[in-house]
Chains A and B, each alone.
Chain A
Amino acid sequence: MSALDVGQALPRRRMEVLPALTPLLVALVAAPFIGSLSTFVTLTAAGLAMGMMIFTMASGLTLVFGMMDVLNFGHGAFIALGAYAASLVLLPLANWSSADSFWANLAVFILAALAAAVISGAFGFVFERLIVKPVYGQHLKQILATIGGAIIAEQLLYALFGPAQIPLTLPRTFEGSFVFGDAAIEKYRVLATLVGLAVFAGEMLVLNRTRIGLLVRAGVENREMVEALGYRVDRLFVAVFMAGSALAGLGGAMMALYRGQAHGSMGGEFLVLCFIVIIIGGLGSVGGSFIASILVALIANYAGFLVPKLALVSNILAMVVVLLWRPRGLYPVSGR
């Protein structure tokens, strides 16, 4: 019998549940104001889908900041790049998209998603080595350097792809909606939700069941001690950075398909949103980002319906409210 077959006298600390319930609370509060059930269902489904896409974009950013205290203002560039990368697959293979075959449609979607992730991930590596690495530990310079990097990246995208928006069409299978009585749920939204959930599940698996995930979780708490235990934290960080940018690219591709077009300005637009999400969620916490993404997306959707004028600033208001309640976010990481 191994020394490892031991009891656990103290139960695992029960995860604080209240912060995770906030999206539910928001939904419950909004429901009576919305009135009709079908509208509520549509809005909620839209919110969930959008939340999943935002989560895909933002989860990498929270780990990057959590691990190395790196404020990457260039994160938006990966989002935009992913969208353009998807177009590199979708446009030449347009006949796969328009074909009447589920498998062809699925294949082109998967290829586009892969292209977005791989190309953004590779660019992430270049960005990290060239722009981020020289300014480790210097917050101000990081902010400035990554902003500069973001500007350069966006302009390069325009130089390479042209300044106009690039239209993207959904593969046939994912057009249209599932109709339940009065409620219509767009098929693509279901797909986006599934992809987002898969990303979340994958991240949780890696973080909690693999050695590298263990290192990342430890590094978010105290990277110095991880180094003192004999692990190359800088290499670990590059891997996390690449994964984060790959995910951002995937999120960007999904979002571009959702909107029907890809453009460099997506970068700046979603950067702010990502910041809001990781602040609300708690820097360094993937679970926190997950809840925060859903929260932010639901609020935006409900507000868009109920108080359209406030919709665009609803996220910022949500952030301020959350920070007043929990100054370090919904699920702050210990030791930060």
Chain B
Amino acid sequence: MSAALTLEGVHTHIGRYHILQGVDFDAPAGRTTMLLGRNGAGKTTTLRTVMGLWRASKGRIALGTTPLQILRASDVARLGVGYAPETMALFSDLSVKENLVLGARSGPLDDARLAWIFSYFPALKTFWLSRAGALSGGQKQMLSIARAIVEPRQLLLIDEPTKGLAPAIVGSLIACLNEIKATGVTILMVEQNFRVAREVGDEVRVMDNGRIVHRGPMAELAADEDLQNRLLGLSLDSHQ
């Protein structure tokens, strides 16, 4: 069973910029928490800090009872944390197969799991031995997510997975994510597309200026258009 992710009073400095200014929230175990907010609010920084790629200057981060803030990124990953960054961070000169092999840290690729991934992202099967750099933007995004879920994880950190994806693929992705949710993984996801956030998210946390300014169930926010405008600055329609 997966664990909850909690952040208490987390501060992160990048150089002399104070990006996270006391982030407090929890992503409940087995649920999908959406992290929303304007550009520059600190969402990606939050994910990177949880992943251990950036060191928090203050505060506590815990996965269940295990403290994360003192761990290096590889140790965080070994706890069962999967990460699909905003930049996708694929290895362009390596094949699709090799990219996934690297994601499967614990052992060889599981055929059943692969088949399941292929059912949502058939392009990965087609271009199995092709260079990852030759894939289209959408296919790359698929690969990045596939790499994050190629093994069962305790926590998934996903950063803007639908950016630049065609609507049909977005649909595929939502279906895939919903099925992953069913396995009981804790998910923390940054998403600019509110429609996707609404369909996938159970909980929502909104960030602004390095702090959490709203926390609550997604259904609540989805029903309250005024609240959406206030927090996210744009109406629902323009997110389509």
Contacts and interface: CB of A to CB of B under 8 A. Distances in A.
Q: Do A and B come from one complex?
A: yes
Contact of B130 (A10, A224, A233, A333): A10
Interface stretch (B1-9, B23-31, B62-70, B107-115): B107-115
B94 A218 contact: yes
B127 A10 contact: yes
Contact of A3 (B83, B89, B114): B114
Most buried by A among B72, B74, B125, B131: B74
Interface in B122-163: 125-131, 133-134, 147
B92 A335 contact: yes
Contacts of A8: 127-130
Nearest to B95: A12
A111 to B, nearest CB: 38
**Interface of B, helix, strand, loop or mixed by DSSP:** helix
B74 A222 contact: no
B159 to A, nearest CB: 12
Most buried by B among A8, A12, A226: A8
B134 A222 contact: no
B173 to A, nearest CB: 20
Which interface class (under 10, 10 to 19, 20 to 34, 35 or more) fits A? 20 to 34
Contacts of A10: 126-127, 130, 134
Most buried by B among A214, A218, A228: A228
Contact of A334 (B77, B78, B133): B133
Nearest to A6: B128
A29 interface: no
A140 interface: no
B133 A215 contact: no
A255 B44 CA distance: 51
Contacts of A215: 102
Contacts of B101: 214
A4 interface: yes
A225 B83 CA distance: 9
B74 to A, nearest CB: 5
Contacts of B86: none
A226 B91 CA distance: 9
Interface in A1-33: 2-4, 6-10, 12-13
A227 B133 CA distance: 20
Contact of A230 (B53, B78, B133): B78
Nearest to A224: B53
B185 to A, nearest CB: 16
Nearest to A334: B92
Given A7-B128, A13-B134, A334-B93, A227 B98 contact: no
B78 to A, nearest CB: 5
Most buried by B among A225, A226, A335: A225
Given A221-B93, A225-B91, A333-B93, A3 B74 contact: no
A232 interface: yes
Contacts of B105: 229-231
Contacts of B73: 224, 227-228
Interface in B42-88: 51-53, 72-74, 76-78, 83, 85
Given A9-B130, A222-B89, 18 more contacts: A4-B97, A4-B114, A6-B128, A7-B126, A7-B128, A8-B129, A8-B130, A12-B129, A217-B91, A217-B93, A222-B91, A224-B73, A227-B73, A228-B89, A229-B83, A232-B74, A233-B74, A334-B93
7 contacts: A8-B127, A10-B126, A217-B91, A218-B102, A221-B93, A228-B73, A228-B85
Shortest 10 CB-CB contacts between residues of A and residues of B: A230-B77, A334-B92, A8-B129, A225-B89, A3-B114, A10-B130, A230-B105, A3-B115, A227-B73, A6-B128
Interface of B: 51-53, 72-74, 76-78, 83, 85, 89, 91-94, 97-98, 101-103, 105, 109, 111-112, 114-115, 118, 125-131, 133-134, 147
